[in-house]
Structure 1
Amino acid sequence: MSPTTRIHFMDYLKVFLSCTVIIHHAGQPYGGSNGFWYVQDSGVDSDLGAFFGINAAFNMSLYFFLSAYFIPLAYKHKGNIGFFKDRLKRIGIPLLFGFLVIIPLIMFFYYNEYRGYPTLSFFEYYKNVYFGFGEQPLNWTGPTWPDLNFGHLWFIEHLLIYSLLYLLLMNLFKNIKLPKMAFIPNNKSIFIFAIIISFITYLVRTKYELDEWIGVLGFIQMEYAHFPQYLAFVILGITAAKSNWIHQISAKVGTFWLSFGILLIILNVIGLVPHSRGGWDGDSLIYAIYETFLCTALSIGLIELFQRKLNRKSKWVEILSKNTFCVYVIQTPVLMGIQYALISVPVSGYIKFGLASFLGIVLSHFISYFIIRKIPVISLLFSGNNPRRSEKFVARLNKKTV
């Protein structure tokens, strides 16, 4: 298989995962997420708990896998200094912009709309509440004080950290011959991988529950409950770039694990899976095993399926794929506007969920492609969304990864 064709199915997979993220956030006001969100719609009686559990089990882990896959290739192509500068420009600048502009704006909206405190100007909020230079209000509703956070940009923050850690490790151990890490994509190795990550996940969740976010070192936004899966898939992505094991997944193996993942989804939907946020009990162990096997099964199955069925060039998919980085950054404020507008619409929460999902996907891509990419000054803040730069980069990688 030529390297040119190898990249195409990943475009499809990136677009698919981007949509799952938007849909996940689109459903937040409509019941079952048990997490913090910026828009509250108390007039709905829907429950999307099963959807949230299924989607959260695999989509970000697989997103980490795809992102990590390109880390060694970029490092090999650019070298130490070039890789460092590239990561700071492509990831660091959008992250900083989001941290200083996008997140404060959406938290400012939440503060004035839902917290019940006297209305503040944006400057007052930005200084006194977001950065915490003012006094903490009585009966503070949180989720933290001050409001300073990365919000949905935590994924980009982690990706930058993993990239820089990779750079550090490559330099620390460049003169040491380490054993090559190779993942063999057969049923036995996949099962062993899932079992190991399941029990690590369970042990972590005995102390840290699902949706419990911690500020590691004061600035790394971390949900420990999913961290073993995320880290494992980052490592899998790096090994895939070095050994190309993803191209060795047989149709038989991929079909088996995808079918198994679908079976696990059905068991969840019909209520046969004991949900647990964490702890030492049996339900916590069962759910950690269930979620990890669901994550692994769907990830392996989707990688093989997309590679086998969608490994072809598509102009529209390439355009959408180039939008995914920018879309990820802007999709939360876009969805907030849609969800807030839907509050007064007299339809069920399920219909609102469908509308918010569809409009969120369409508008996020529209804004990214027709507005952000067309304004040079703004597009610099989303350098990961630069289409010409991306095409040149992929073309060079193709020559180096035959």
Structure 2
Amino acid sequence: MPNTRIHFMDFLKVFLSCTVIVHHAGQPYGGSNGFWYVRDSGVDSDLGVFFGINAAFNMSLYFFLSAYFIPLAYKHKGNIGFLKDRLKRIGIPLLFGFIVIIPLIMYFYYNEFRGYPNLSLFEYYKNIYLGFGEKPLNWAGPSWPDLNFGHLWFIEHLLIYSLIYLLLMNLFKNIKLPKIAFVPTNKHIFIFVIIVSLFTFLIRTNYALDEWIGVLGFIQMEYAHFPQYLAFVILGIIAANSNWIHHIPKNVGKLWLYMGILLIILNVFGFVPHSRGGWDSSSLIYAIYETFLCTALSIGLIELFQRKLNRKSKWIEMLAKNTFCVYIIQTPVLIGIQYALISVPVSGYIKFVLASLLGIVFSHLISYFIIRKLPVISLLFSGTNHRRSQSLVVNFHKKSIN
């Protein structure tokens, strides 16, 4: 059987996995403006520019890559098979994280950094996490009760988008859309950026960056980035049907990659007016800047990886198979590393580098042994079967051509 794996996607998945780990590795060391489980008050570093650049593109590109496999899995499995597969591979890990992993790390945070008398795990779980107890005085949040999905919000959204796709495919199953041979041009990309920028700005007039809302009481969402995330989910689904990621012109990919690098340089040297939101010019400029950066890096990296790294690597393929598990376990792994580094007398920047490197290594090592050596537990962390889906991509497009 010929090898039909899309190799550059393995490299891209591993790269994105590392950007998530590095983003979380820097949380205690200044500039994130968000909640985190470890407080290291002895550092004077500021990673705000890094957080802004990384957050501008990495999760949007992650959504794109994940959404790319949704229609392909649906075509292969059908309604019932697709539903069962998503509930098993995404729903079970999400549920396990919600009732086991998140309570444990929130329990650690409660006892170590909130300043309240220590509780047993059972007392914390019942009274604080589930909220059956009385809300403590001067409660610092981030919400009450502590019940939340934490870093697993991405998996929650991926499951919801999959279910919405299933619903739409059944509601409009009698509508036959024509297949379009689509290749993105600079004009297409520019129009996309402007539209998403405007929606992003309008959302941020009411919802600031890093402001998380419990939609319907259980959907954990940061509205400020929602237009970008949704746009890239739709873009990923379109890409699966038109296969345009393999046909981005080299000159288009290089232009947007260079543009993304230029935008990063402008940010690093302080030429970008950062804004968390609001109805003013700085908020509009930052929404446009961030969307341009997100799109430029995404298009540029996809084309670059496809052109330079579309080759077989057993090492990268092994790491790529573990990225779903890595995403789930990287937060507790980093918490342990960051907590151990509190007493280390070095600068916050050095701690950031150490936490990043150790987090990447240990998260991948632990996920490897979970998946390879503990097959029963690995069912909780298997995630979407991208290996099979990648084969379906090639087979599907071969049929479309014929």
Q: TM-score range by the shorter chain?
A: over 0.9
Counterpart of 2:196 in 1: which secondary structure? helix
Aligned-pair identity (%): 82
2:349 is the alignment partner of 1:350: yes
The alpha-carbon deviation at position 390 of structure 1 amounts to: 5.4
The alpha-carbon deviation at position 383 of structure 1 amounts to: 2.5
Where structure 2 has 5 or more consecutive residues not aligned to the other structure, the ranges are none
- Size of the aligned set, in residue pairs, is 397
Aligned match of 2:242:
243
- Do the aligned partners of residues 133 and 34 (structure 1) sit closer, same or farther apart at CA in structure 2, a change above 3 Å counting? same
The answer to whether the Cα contact below 8 Å between 1:181 and 1:239 also exists between their aligned partners in 2 is no
Aligned match of 1:43:
42
Give the residue type in structure 2 aligned to 1:13.
L
Aligned match of 2:32:
33
Aligned match of 2:67:
68
The alpha-carbon deviation at position 216 of structure 1 amounts to: 0.3
Give the residue type in structure 1 aligned to 2:340.
A
2:280 is the alignment partner of 1:284: no
Aligned match of 1:129:
128
Aligned match of 2:16:
17
- Do the aligned partners of residues 197 and 183 (structure 1) sit closer, same or farther apart at CA in structure 2, a change above 3 Å counting? farther
- The CA distance in 2 between the partners of 1:228 and 1:263, in whole Å, is 23
2:400 is the alignment partner of 1:401: no
Q: How does 1:150-299 map to 2 (within 5 A)?
A: 150-178=149-177, 184-299=183-298
The alpha-carbon deviation at position 248 of structure 1 amounts to: 1.9
The answer to whether the Cα contact below 8 Å between 2:29 and 2:349 also exists between their aligned partners in 1 is yes
2:7 is the alignment partner of 1:4: no
Aligned match of 1:104:
103
The alpha-carbon deviation at position 182 of structure 1 amounts to: 7.2
The alpha-carbon deviation at position 176 of structure 1 amounts to: 2.3
Counterpart of 1:254 in 2: which secondary structure? helix
The alpha-carbon deviation at position 401 of structure 1 amounts to: 3.1
The answer to whether the Cα contact below 8 Å between 1:3 and 1:401 also exists between their aligned partners in 2 is no
The alpha-carbon deviation at position 17 of structure 1 amounts to: 0.3
The alpha-carbon deviation at position 3 of structure 1 amounts to: 8.4
Counterpart of 2:67 in 1: which secondary structure? helix
- The CA distance in 2 between the partners of 1:317 and 1:163, in whole Å, is 27
The alpha-carbon deviation at position 320 of structure 1 amounts to: 0.5
Q: Deviations over 1:163-196 (max 9, x none)?
A: 0000000000001245667754110010010011
Q: CA RMSD in A?
A: 1.5
- Do the aligned partners of residues 302 and 101 (structure 1) sit closer, same or farther apart at CA in structure 2, a change above 3 Å counting? same
The answer to whether the Cα contact below 8 Å between 1:334 and 1:360 also exists between their aligned partners in 2 is yes
Aligned match of 2:55:
56
Aligned match of 1:360:
359
Counterpart of 1:382 in 2: which secondary structure? coil
The alpha-carbon deviation at position 379 of structure 1 amounts to: 0.9
- The CA distance in 2 between the partners of 1:79 and 1:336, in whole Å, is 40
2:311 is the alignment partner of 1:312: yes
- The CA distance in 2 between the partners of 1:330 and 1:165, in whole Å, is 27
The alpha-carbon deviation at position 257 of structure 1 amounts to: 0.2
- The CA distance in 1 between the partners of 2:17 and 2:356, in whole Å, is 12
Give the residue type in structure 2 aligned to 1:320.
L
- The CA distance in 1 between the partners of 2:92 and 2:260, in whole Å, is 37
Counterpart of 2:221 in 1: which secondary structure? strand
The alpha-carbon deviation at position 382 of structure 1 amounts to: 1.2
The answer to whether the Cα contact below 8 Å between 1:182 and 1:239 also exists between their aligned partners in 2 is no
Q: Deviations over 1:348-401 (max 9, x none)?
A: 10000000000000000000102343112211111327xxx6545544553333
- Do the aligned partners of residues 97 and 251 (structure 1) sit closer, same or farther apart at CA in structure 2, a change above 3 Å counting? same
Aligned match of 2:93:
94
The answer to whether the Cα contact below 8 Å between 2:321 and 2:387 also exists between their aligned partners in 1 is no
- The CA distance in 2 between the partners of 1:308 and 1:86, in whole Å, is 32
